[in-house]
Structure 1
Amino acid sequence: MRGSCKGLTLIELLIVIAVVGILASIAYPSYSEKIKKAARTEIAGLLFESALSLERHRARAGQYADTEGVVTPLPTGTDYYSLHASRTAEDFVLSARRRPGTLMASDRCADFVLGHDGIRRNPGATGDHSQAYCWGN
């Protein structure tokens, strides 16, 4: 009587690899979209937080621009977006630009812009780019 062999045959191994590949091809787009949604939510929160800092600065200094003795540093951005601020005495515009070569470089919401008046925009956005979709409302 022959002893039984334990282990996987080549065909069984190929079937396991095919099943794992199919599951990964289904799961990756969903995972990627969740990462993009989290990055959009993070940058929207950072823009609102920066706007709040600038409003506090205006309450202290009487204007949005930095003055001698009253300086409000702003964050530089996230892994996916760089934050830029244009400030004058009477208004400000905060913009979050996508960093090239990252997952968000081709995101359909494009860049984010928040003004002192609270108006939110996404210049360069394509497809379904409603404020609720892009800004997470």
Structure 2
Amino acid sequence: MNAQKGFTLIELMIVIAIIGILAAIALPAYQNYIKRAAYTEVTSAIAPIKTAVDTCFAIEKDLAKCDTPGEIGETMPTGLTGKALKSISIAEGGAITATPNDYKGIKTAETCVLSPVKETSGAGQAAADTGRLIWTYSGACVNNGYVKN
């Protein structure tokens, strides 16, 4: 008697079910990875502005003197069409806001704010200004997991 070769219908259905489950898990994870990778363009564009604010603060010792492009000696970068970065602005107190374009799943409303706070050592009346800034992210970039503090 000749033995038949090949797979049974149930074996093929099990393989298809396994592939379907793996795709259902992998596809959202991949899409989130693509968004985070595209958002790195936005966060990396903040770096030179942050450095300029740090430098200005080290010289001036006052964030109020480091909250315009002219005061920090930088021009605000703007993105190109089809890229992740739309614009960067600096606000009172040195807070830097980055706005992305609608790009690879990122939405324009998913802004990122990087805010400086003067670092101090000690507590109460003995607290002394260290001359450094501590930076914290806030906004949709943190809520969506694009950056971490």
Q: Which TM class, normalised by the smaller chain length? A: 0.5 to 0.7
- Tell me, which stretches of 5 or more residues in structure 2 are unaligned? 1-18, 118-134
Q: Deviations over 1:43-87 (max 9, x none)?
A: 233323321123224538x645515xx832232247223232135
CA distance in 2, matches of 1:106, 1:84: 12
Structure-2 separation of matches of 1:76 and 1:55 = 21
Task: Give yes or no for contact 2:46–2:88 (8 Å, CA) kept in 1.
Answer: no
Number of residues paired by the alignment?
Answer: 122
The answer as to 2:124 corresponding to 1:112 is: no
Q: TM (normalized to structure 1)?
A: 0.52
TM-score normalized with structure 2 length: 0.49
Query: What's 2:146 paired with?
Result: 134
Mapping for residues 2-21 of structure 1, pairs under 5 Å = none
- 1:15 aligned partner: none
Q: Which residue of 2 is the match for residue 66 of structure 1?
A: 70
Report percent identity of matched pairs. 22
**Which runs of 5 or more structure 1 residues have no equivalent in the other structure?**
1-19
Shift of 1:33: 1.5
Write 1 or 2 for the structure with the bigger share of strand. 2
- State which of 75, 83, 88 in structure 1 corresponds to 2:87: 83
* Contact 1:91–1:116 under 8 Å retained in 2: yes
Instruction: Answer whether contact 1:54 1:72 (CA < 8 A) is retained.
Output: no
CA RMSD across the alignment: 4.6
CA deviations on 1:74-128 (whole Å, 9 max, x unpaired) are 32247223232135xx732211123136520188xx2101123223211xx49x9
